[in-house]
Amino acid sequence: MEYNTQLLVVMITYMTLLIAWGVYQGRKVKNSSDFAIAGRNLPGWVAALSERATGESSWALLGLPGAAYATGLLEIWTAIGCVAGIITAWILIAWRLRDEAEKYEIDTFTQYIAKRHGEIGKWIRIVGSFTIVFFFFFYVGAQFLGGGKILHTMFDIKPQYGMLITAAIIIPYTIYGGFRSVVYTDVVQAIVMITTLIVGPIVGIIYVSNHPELFANNITEALTMAGPEYTSMTGGLSGFAAGVAIVGGFSWFFGYLGGQPQLSMRFMAIQNPKQAIKARNVGIVWTVVAYIGALTIGWLGIAIFGPTGLADREYVMPAVLLEIFPPAIAAVLITGAIAAMVSTADSLLILSATEFSENLMREPKKVGPKGKLLRHRIVTAALAIVALGIAYVAPSKYIFTLVSYVWAGIGGTFSVVILLTLFWKKYHGRAVLLTIISGLLFTIIWIQTGMDEKVTARMLTFFVAMLVAVLGTYFIPAKEN
């Protein structure tokens, strides 16, 4: 059986089982709280694996290995920034958000911020939810586009059909089971991802050492032969340019500090404080192992193919797996990786739908739990169709440009809001609203004017939003309740 056929068989089987698992978990959803946040009753290990799969799928499996393949040791700064941000979030933020979610009985990300700053909570819910829903429309659309591209690359399926297939995989169980189905399918993805990122590097190191005909027979030799910029932690740059490169890599740190709603919701959904400790441990261990594995796969790509051997650097992970494993095993690992990337859309979709349903729609009178649950499902279906439509009609460059705003505009801005809400009692509602608006406006202006190419908005948005938040707290009086 040729490779493409094996991969197709494995993929169909894997996806079918994944959908079935998602639908099975959806049977346990009885009300809107179950649908939106799994009733805030997730075991710690489930929440941790879901948070990691949601945060790292395409990045850990394609983006980071590809960057390591292209730049060598320079990419360590990006890994340090991400890992430091994730560890900080799990140690300082996760358990606090869990406790706060229980205390205020919240079902959505902005609902928590609004309840904590009740004096102007209505406007926080409206502005915060609208911002998240708007940007995440395009984020979901980008995932559909990415799924179409992957299926086109692997099986020569037209990208338009690939997008439909991607949507057909994730939409049914997301509509049926909401957050609960999404979380438990994420668990499967996280297990496959970490298996790939452990087994792949180990087998790869053994493989290159036993094949003298390759470009190099170990990672150190590969980096040295690739050129001095590959063995430099600054990419061969010096002075200000080196500083910019290091800061640009480390800047990913700021987006992990509670400001990514799709990740923070996993913190809020943890069952109890004891489970939060388990979640922290699982999340941190998974992250450290995964990032080491992702970097290693990228550097193994240099040893196997040479620094210019791949036309598309982000193909390095599947290329390495196909080289070092028999086709059947490679098919399983690549299928799991593809599924993790494709299914990222479900987390973004359910977040957008619950924000829209809970915070932007008027609460109908005399509606029972079943009616409210039905409304959530209808909204989820409607938003999925709109996102798919956007992916079809909008230029892909435009969509991915808007996605670039998410990490800076959403992540940097809301990280400031969450941090100050948790750790600074003086921070009040009017300052929160000003923080959200100013952070997003700064991000849009900074990126649109091309300044992001000189100094990344991922870092600057955080500090600008922080400055506005502090000044707003001191100079704008809080609204009297």
Structural Rg of the chain based on CA atoms: 22
Neighbours of 93 (CB within 10 A): 22
- Alpha carbon distance 75, 308 (integer Å): 17
CA-wise closest residue to 453 among 239, 311, 241 = 241
Secondary structure class of 366 (helix, strand, coil): coil
Tokens of 169: 């995989």
Q: What is the per-residue pLDDT for 136?
A: 84
Tokens of 139: 């984020």
All domains in the chain, ordered by first residue = 3-396 (1.20.1730.10)
Neighbours of 165 (CB within 10 A): 16
- Alpha carbon distance 452, 217 (integer Å): 39
One-letter amino acid at 189 equals: Q
CA-wise closest residue to 113 among 460, 385, 429, 368 = 429
- Alpha carbon distance 54, 178 (integer Å): 15
Q: What is the per-residue pLDDT for 343?
A: 66
Regions of the chain where pLDDT drops below 70: 1-3, 153, 341-343, 363-367, 396-404, 480-481
Tokens of 20: 């079935």
Q: What is the per-residue pLDDT for 1?
A: 53
Contacts of 323 (CB under 8 A, 6+ apart): 207, 304
Q: What is the per-residue pLDDT for 279?
A: 97
Q: What is the per-residue pLDDT for 304?
A: 96
Q: Which residues pair with 42 in a beta bridge?
A: 270
How many whole angstroms from its chain centre is CA 465? 22
Q: What is the per-residue pLDDT for 140?
A: 83
Cα→Cα distances 63→69, 161, 235, 237, Å: 10, 24, 18, 22
Q: What is the per-residue pLDDT for 365?
A: 64
Q: 476 with 431: CB under 8 angstroms?
A: yes
Q: 47 with 269: CB under 8 angstroms?
A: yes
- Alpha carbon distance 68, 72 (integer Å): 5
Neighbours of 107 (CB within 10 A): 26
CA-wise closest residue to 440 among 457, 421, 428 = 457
Tokens of 32: 């809107």
Residue range 279-309, pLDDT digits in tens: 999 999 999 999 999 999 999 999 999 999 9
DSSP label at 480?
P
Tokens of 59: 């990045």
Contacts of 70 (CB under 8 A, 6+ apart): 298, 313
Q: 233 with 75: CB under 8 angstroms?
A: no
Q: What is the per-residue pLDDT for 100?
A: 96
- CA-based torsion, 100, 279, 136, 66: positive or negative: positive
Task: Please state the pTM of the whole predicted model.
Answer: 0.91
Contacts of 331 (CB under 8 A, 6+ apart): 3, 6, 7, 9, 10, 11
End-to-end alpha carbon distance in the chain:
70
